[in-house]
Copies of this chain bind each other. A is one copy, B any other.
Amino acid sequence: MVSVVAVATHAGVSPATVSRVLSGRIVVAPETRARVLEAVKELGYRPNEMARSLRAGRGRGVALVTGDVEQGIYAALAKHVQAELEALGLDLLLFNLGHREDRLRHFLERAPSLGLRGVLLSSPHIMDMAELMPLILTATASGIDVISVSQDLSAYGIASIIHDDVGGARAAAEHLIAQGRTPIAFLGRIATSAIGRARFEGYRDALLAHEQAIDPDLVWDISEGYRADAGYQATSNALAKGLHFRAVLTASDELALGSMAAATDRGHSVPGSVAFVGFGGLGWGVFSRPSITTVSLDVGAVARAVRDRFKGEDEVPSTPERIVVPARLVLRQSA
């Protein structure tokens, strides 16, 4: 491994000078500078990131903690965030909880010793943040910038970048109501997910605003992840019970796909007999048939907000603590 010392020797200067040249922040005689750069190139020197991190007290890693990257929206988030971080010379560490809270606890315990620059918490289906707060505070105290993505934790003093889930769901419900597609069912996690609850609130708001009663039988509060099979299951059950509904507002595109399949399998036409709205705006939603009308979440905007948060060199950014990214209803075939 070629180190500063090697470069310094080669260039006939001290290691300190090499460091100065490379940092660029300190004046070095042009001739010396040239000689050092020459040596650097000749030896193919690259500063050791581990030594740098130790010296600086923190590294260049930012962790993304997700519930399940296999879910399209998280994969998209990982992709966009990674791209933004890479542009800042930061690395993305991925921690996938699989919706198991103990792993989040374990990660948070480890976080301070890893020298992370930041932690993006994007595991929205975990409710008792209160219990985890001590760990989070320990992390922030150790210089880690903890940001909640998707879930609003600004009440706890944690910077939050969130989608307008309430507004998005409301817009979707309004659209369905305007088309006369009532009654509308809601499918998602409510009791066990802050995000799911926000979407449910949007649904409820719209219904109440139009003096529609909320039928508990049409509120399908699932407890598993937002995968297609959960949607299929819940919808099949509802149909088996003979419940009547003309539309389903779901909390993810995957749920919508599964839900739609359940209806289709029982001979209901989509959107003629039942309409479906998803959440996320994933790429493949355009190509299912019928394609999925969805509340599109601008993942790129979230990633840019993350970038803004990390672009400075200062320890604790002073940007606003709560950023809301708008959600947009994208009309396609299913509703």
A residues adjacent to B (C-beta < 8 A): 1, 46-51, 53-54, 57-59, 61, 64, 68-70, 72, 74-76, 78-79, 82-83, 86, 91-96, 98, 103, 109-110, 112-115, 142, 227-229, 231-232, 254, 257-258, 260-261, 264-265, 283-284, 286-289, 291
Given contacts A54-B54, A70-B72, A94-B82, A284 and B284 within 8 Å (CB-CB): yes
Q: Considering the chains assembled together, what is the distance between the CA atoms of A7 and B232 in angstroms? A: 55
Asked if residues A93 and B94 are in contact (CB atoms below 8 Å), the reply is yes
Given contacts A79-B69, A287-B232, A142 and B1 within 8 Å (CB-CB): yes
Listed A/B pairs (23) with beta-carbon separation below 8 Å: A46-B109, A46-B110, A47-B113, A48-B113, A50-B50, A50-B58, A50-B114, A51-B54, A69-B78, A69-B79, A72-B72, A75-B75, A78-B78, A86-B95, A86-B103, A93-B94, A229-B286, A257-B288, A258-B287, A261-B287, A261-B291, A265-B289, A284-B284
Q: Give the residues in chain B near A75, CB-CB below 8 Å.
A: 69-70, 72, 74-75, 78
Q: Give the residues in chain B near A288, CB-CB below 8 Å.
A: 257, 261, 288-289
Asked if residues A50 and B46 are in contact (CB atoms below 8 Å), the reply is no
Ordered nearest first, which 3 A-B pairs have the shortest CB separation? A75-B75, A228-B287, A46-B113
Total copies of the chain: 2
Q: Give the residues in chain B near A284, CB-CB below 8 Å.
A: 228, 254, 257-258, 284
Which residue of the partner chain B has the closest CB to A71?
A: B75
Q: Give the residues in chain B near A49, CB-CB below 8 Å.
A: 113-115
Q: Considering the chains assembled together, what is the distance between the CA atoms of A92 and B107 in angstroms? A: 13
Q: Considering the chains assembled together, what is the distance between the CA atoms of A291 and B260 in angstroms? A: 12
Asked if residues B112 and A46 are in contact (CB atoms below 8 Å), the reply is yes
Q: Considering the chains assembled together, what is the distance between the CA atoms of A286 and B110 in angstroms? A: 38
Which residue of the partner chain B has the closest CB to A282?
A: B70
Given contacts A54-B54, A113-B47, A229 and B83 within 8 Å (CB-CB): no
A90 to chain B, nearest CB (A): 11
Q: Considering the chains assembled together, what is the distance between the CA atoms of A83 and B115 in angstroms? A: 21
Which residue of the partner chain B has the closest CB to A44?
A: B138
Q: Which residue of A49, A258, A260 has the most chain B CB atoms within 10 A of its CB atom?
A: A49
Q: Considering the chains assembled together, what is the distance between the CA atoms of A50 and B49 in angstroms? A: 9
A134 to chain B, nearest CB (A): 11
